[in-house]
Amino acid sequence: MLLGWCVDMQEVEIRFNAEISDNDGVREFNCAVEYPASLEQFLPQELLQDNISPEVIIRAFSSGNGSFSTNSLEQAEVTEIQIREKLQSAYEEYIEWEQRLDNWDGTGCMVC
């Protein structure tokens, strides 16, 4: 079963593509995440490396893609919310950086 949803933050689109599969009678909840590569430098360190725990596996986010998997619907929901919050923070940092970049003109003058 495939599920998908999209978060649109102004001009930035982030997609969560969920899949529920059955592995020898055990349900697996997998989710691929697509985000703009422009957010890469603002992602928290914990999303940039594999994070494996007994509850969930989060694969390193890189080049606009990441994913996670778990055997629990509840854990899938919690992980999705946590990742959404981290991507929202990365987006806010990106917007702040863009605004600073737009405001900086490099024409300051210093008299010694």
Q: What is the tens place of the pLDDT at every residue in 48-68?
A: 999 999 999 999 999 999 999
pLDDT per residue over 4-25, tens digit each? 444 445 567 889 999 999 988 8
Residues 67-76: what's their mean pLDDT?
Answer: 96
- Band (pLDDT 50/70/90 cuts) for residue 101 is confident
Provide mean pLDDT across the span 81-98. Answer: 93
Please list the residues that pair with 15 across neighbouring strands.
6, 34
At residue 97, what is the residue type? Answer: W
Based on its alpha-carbon atoms, the radius of gyration of the chain, rounded to whole angstroms, reads: 18
82, 67, 73: which is closest to 20 by C-alpha? 73
Whether the Cβ atoms of residue 43 and residue 88 lie closer than 8 Å to each other: no
Beta bridge partners of 70: 29, 56
